[in-house]
Each structure stands twice: as C-alpha cells, then as structure tokens.
Chains A and B, each alone.
Chain A
Amino acid sequence: MSLLELKNVYKIYGELHALDNVNMKVEKGEWVSIMGPSGSGKSTMMNIIGCMDKPSKGEVLLDGVDISKENAKNLTTVRRDKIGLIFQQFHLVNYLTAVENVMLAQYYHSLPDEKEAMEALERVGLADRAKHLPSQLSGGEQQRVCVARALINYPEIILADEPTGNLDEANEEIVVDLFHKLHNEGTTLIVVTHDPEVAEVAQRTVVLRNGRVVKEVQNQNFTGKIHFDEEGTHVTKKDLKSEEEIQAEEHAHENQ
C-alpha cells in the first residue's frame, strides 16, 4: 500500500479545473518533486495533500485512509500528526526564537521538549542560532528552522512548497542537502517546485500542466544532490524543462 495515493482528484472553481483527474502515488520513504509552471495546479495539490483544502471530487488516501471527506477539525489533526510543512516564505512566528518556533510544533502535537528541539536545530546546523529571533537570521537560516520545525514531530510526509524559492544558491544547496539527509533517514519528501534544478534531485518528478499530470520522470542516476558543472553552475538534465522553456514551448504551439 502506498503512503499517499490521489485517485481521480479534481479541484474545480467555477469553470476552472485547478486539478483535473489527477492520479498519483507516493511510496513510503520516497522523494518526489511536483513541478510545473505557475497556474499548473501545484499549490492546489500541495494544499490538498497538506490537508489545508479538500478536493471537489476523488479520493486522497493517506496511509490507506481517505482524508478527502474529513471535516476541518479532523484535517487539522491529520496535518498535525502526519505532515510536516515547509513554506517558500519560511513563515516563522517573529517574536519566538528559533528553538521556540520548533517547540511550537511540538506544543500543538504533544509536549514541548526544548532538548529535542535543540537536537533538531543541531541537525540543520543551527544549534548556535537557537536563541535568535527570525529577524536575526538569514533567509537560509530561517528556512532551516522551518525544516527543523517540520521534522520535529517525525511526520510521515514532509511537504515543502517552493522551499528554495527565496534562497540564494548556497542556501539552496544546504536545504537540498538537508532533504537528502532526511531521505536517507527514511523520511518521505514531497517537494513542490517550479525550479527544475531542485526538482531533478528527487527520485521522481511529477510534472503538472493545466491541472493534469503530464509527465513522470524517474531519476535513474538519483544522488539526491544538485548537479554542478566545472564552473560551479547548476546543471539541469534535459528530461526536465524550466518554467520559461515550458512557456516558450506553449507559445510556439499556440502560434502554429
């Protein structure tokens, strides 16, 4: 049984099909990227998997349980117990220190444990910044606090929405390395991104366009690391295209 399975999932807003008959499976311990241009349905899918929204039709099975029919209260429980969220904008509580932000997730889940929260920060290399407020941390450091917060309750899935969208290359690499570590420890990762460089480091990439899954790419040479050329620039494998390339293709197609 897959850890997560989307069966004929639709999300319809009036005439717009944000998700249009999406089928997808994620196995336990797998690292999957969901990629696509803006408006392709990535965020809608992320919200549904993250229990922050419900599909209009279809089933979403998490650990064999259909969560698509659950009410808001139960979805909060599922989200708290099974999912660790990482956001593009970091979203830390600005008046709590790094360690308190991590403890906040423990507080809602079970019992806050400062020692354990410190260990989580240590894992993301931020033990020495534990007592700093978010405003005293760089963007990369804030995102690492988010990672620590996401993993503190040992969730079944870590769901990251554009986790490197606001980071420079150095911090992007640090965060991807953290994902690699988590993956090696058996954590299931779903990373929503429009960046092919980040998408391609996953084991598998699901490409969305206009609310439909148009391609699934299995990374045969999976290393979990970003590929660099000799000059230190990211290298994208040719089976994944950037948002700009996809848009250019669509443009050309419309002109024909």
Chain B
Amino acid sequence: MKKRQMYFRMITASLMRRRSRMLVALLSIAIGATVLSGLVTIYYDVPRQMGAQFRNYGANMIFTAADEKITLEDVQQGAALIKADQLVGVTPYRYENVRIHESPVIAAATDMTSVQSTSPYWHIEGQYPSSDGQILVGAALAESFNLKSGELLEVSYTPAEMASGDDTIQDNILEFEITGILDTGGSEEDYLYISLSDMEALTGEAGDIDIAELSVSASSDELSGYADTISNTVSSVNARLVKRVTASETTVLTKLQALVLLVTVVVLALTMICVATTMTAVVTERRKEIGLRKAIGASDTSIIKEFLGESMMLGGLGGVLGSVLGFIFAQQVSIHVFSSSISFMPALVPITILVSVLVTGLSSLMPIRSATEVDPALVLKGE
C-alpha cells in the first residue's frame, strides 16, 4: 500500500468514525460557508435585483434625433444593439400640436403597450387605450377641460399647409373615447396620449419620431457603453442617459454593495474565529492521540500534515454544504426582500469550497502546531 493511500484511509476513518465530533466541526464550517456564500451571491445579484427595482422609476436612456428627426426603424435599429435580456422596454414618442375645445394642447403618440414598461409608475384612472380611437388624457388637462373616462373627445389638427395660410385645406378632426386619466404628478399630465396609427390618421402623414425612451437593466458603465455604441452605429440617433436616474442608481447600488461587502467581511472574520475555536477544541481533545503518534515515530511534520489534511477535507465538505445552503439562503432573502428569485452562480461553488478549505486550514494550523509540542511521555502517562 502506498503511503498516500494510508494517509487518506486515516483521514477518512477519522471523519467517518468520529462522526458526532466531526459533525459539530462540520456544522460550524458549513454555517460559516453558507452565510458567506449566501452574502456573496446577494452581493453579486444586488445590481440585477436593484436594477429591476430601479426600472420602476422609468426610462434611463433617451434617443433623440442627431440632426432633425428619427424614424421608427432607427429606434428599432438602436434598440437592437442592446442585449435582449437587458432591454426592459422601448417607447417612441411623436409630439404634435392639436386642439381640443378650440384650445391648443400637445398630443403625444406612442406605443401604449411598451409605455407600460418604460413608465411603470404611471397611474391611470381607468385603463390604457387598447385600440385605435381611444385616448389617454393627462390629469391636468382633464381638470382644465373637465374631462372624464368614458366620455368622447374631439381632437382637431391643423395641417401645416393650412397653418401657413392655405384656406383650401381644412382641419382634420377625429373623435376619441377617453379610456383613462393619467396621473403622474409630473409634466406628463399636460398631454394627450394616442396611438401612433391614430396620430398618422389625425395628421394625415406618417411622421418621424421626436424622442424614444428606453428602459435598460444595466450598470452605469454598460449604459454609457451602449449609448456610445448606438450613437456611433446609428448616425441619426443621439443616445443619452437620463442622468438623474442612472446617477442615483449607481450611488444607491455602490452603497448597498459596500454594505453587503462589509457584512461579508465581518462574517468571514467571525467564521474564522468560530472555526478556529472549534478546531482548537477538536485538536486539544486529541492530544493523547498526537502523543501516541509521536511515541510510535511520527514527526511533527507528518502530524501537521495529517491533522491539516483532516481539517481541509472537513473544510471542503463544509464548503460543498455551504454552497448549496448558501444558495438556498440567498434565494430566500431575495424572494422575501426583492420578491424575485436569484440566479445560481456556478463559479461561486469552487470559490466557496476553496475559501472554506483555506479558512479551516488556517484556523487549524495554530492549534495543530501547538499540539505537536506535546511531550508524548507526559501525555501517555495521562498528565
């Protein structure tokens, strides 16, 4: 039999046949590894989770025309440069001056489905328009003109030729059903909202897009990268970040990550102390065995190797357990705090095992070294 085989046979025997003792140590290591792995998982998942939360605050990127106007195709081409899983929504807007009750107001034509993704904070009394001929009215306008959901509203548009003095051209008038009143507390309340096709019908022309709002779940750096790429690739589009959203997002994320990192470091330190205490107890109660091994010819180095091997194997087992339990822990935290599940990070498994092995090994080294100083004669005499 090779020495290495006997070495592993001894270590395995110690772990398997001293189960109750080893379970205590294993539990201590596994708990440490669980908390550590869970916190690191949360640390890395916080941007994704918080990003999703931040998306509730609206768009964080805007496409405007680099020169005059942009087309819908330009917007789609620019949005295609963003990874599909990061793109929460793209909403184009076309603004035109229209009139209601003979008063000029601004109508915004948009996609009523995607606007719910890019502006999830919009509060509608009633519901979003679901087909042509329906209109959403801003709360400020509704109050000024005493408009209510369910009523019919005539919207007129004066074509450019008529506006320039051509009397042969008449106003285009369309009747809309008010499906909801938009309440945001912001400037959005001053507009009317209709579909792009209704705007085309009202104006009689397929006009270009004035602005497009995008909601992208990405870090500040990634967003900047996307903005640059889009501006460079689609020449008619000028992609910009909504600074007040991205900047506050970055600040909150940085602070939150720093907090989780700090907690992780503290937990790591506490884990080391806990594991060191456990390993000291485990090694101390085996002083007699160490004395015996020395008496029958073991060198200090081989005793250190054997006990360290045992500790590291225990650390490895604790690391495996910690990886599994840590994910469950992080999953539960994520579900209860962010109301969404966490993504499993396979790379964290070997890292947790490695850290667990190193922490256990280092924690055991001191008590093992001091244990090798025992005098076999005294220990074997029971002193």
B3 touches A112 (CB 8 A): yes
A95 touches B297 (CB 8 A): no
Give Cα distance in the complex from A97 to B299, angstroms. 22
Counting CB contacts under 8 A, is A109 at the interface? Answer: yes
Binds B, one of A100-108, A167-175, A231-239: A100-108
Task: Known A91-B380, A111-B1; judge A96-B10 contact (CB<8 A).
Answer: yes
Which residue of B has the minimal Cβ distance to A78?
A: B297
Q: How many residues of chain B get a CB closer than 8 Å to chain A's CBs?
A: 29
Give residues 66-104 of B contacting A (CB, 8 Å). none
Majority-rule SS of B interface residues: helix
B292 touches A93 (CB 8 A): yes
Please name all residues of chain B whose beta carbon is closer than 8 Å to the beta carbon of A20 when the two chains form the complex: none
Q: How many residues of chain A get a CB closer than 8 Å to chain B's CBs?
A: 34
Binds A, one of B13-21, B214-222, B327-335: B13-21
B293 touches A104 (CB 8 A): yes
Please name all residues of chain B whose beta carbon is closer than 8 Å to the beta carbon of A50 when the two chains form the complex: 295, 377
Q: A111-132 toward B: CB 8 Å interface, digit per residue (1/0)?
A: 1111000000000000000000
B295 touches A52 (CB 8 A): yes
Q: What's the nearest-Cβ distance from chain A to residue B325, in Å?
A: 27
Q: What's the nearest-Cβ distance from chain B to residue A219, in Å?
A: 29
Q: Give which listed residue, A79, A103, A112, contacts B297 with CB less than 8 A.
A: A79
A80 touches B296 (CB 8 A): yes
Counting CB contacts under 8 A, is A158 at the interface? Answer: no
Counting CB contacts under 8 A, is A56 at the interface? Answer: no
Give residues 277-305 of B contacting A (CB, 8 Å). 288-289, 292-299, 302
A91 touches B292 (CB 8 A): yes
Q: Which of B13, B14, B299, B377 has the most CB of A within 10 A?
A: B377
Give Cα distance in the complex from A52 to B295, angstroms. 7
Q: Give which listed residue, B1, B5, B295, B302, contacts A79 with CB less than 8 A.
A: B295
Give Cα distance in the complex from A79 to B380, angstroms. 15
A111 touches B2 (CB 8 A): yes
Task: Known A47-B377, A111-B2; judge A104-B17 contact (CB<8 A).
Answer: no
B381 touches A43 (CB 8 A): yes
B299 touches A76 (CB 8 A): yes
A91 touches B381 (CB 8 A): no
Please name all residues of chain A whose beta carbon is closer than 8 Å to the beta carbon of B9 when the two chains form the complex: 100
Counting CB contacts under 8 A, is A89 at the interface? Answer: yes
Which residue of A has the minimal Cβ distance to B302?
A: A108
Task: Known A43-B381, A52-B376; judge A95-B296 contact (CB<8 A).
Answer: no
Q: What's the nearest-Cβ distance from chain A to residue B116, in Å?
A: 65
Q: Give which listed residue, B14, B293, B380, contacts A89 with CB less than 8 A.
A: B380
10 A-B residue pairs with CB within 8 Å: A50-B295, A53-B377, A80-B298, A93-B293, A95-B13, A95-B17, A96-B10, A108-B298, A112-B5, A133-B17
Known A52-B295, A107-B7, A108-B299; 18 more pairs at CB < 8 Å: A50-B377, A53-B377, A76-B298, A76-B299, A85-B295, A85-B296, A89-B382, A93-B292, A97-B13, A100-B10, A100-B13, A104-B296, A105-B296, A108-B302, A109-B297, A111-B1, A112-B6, A149-B296
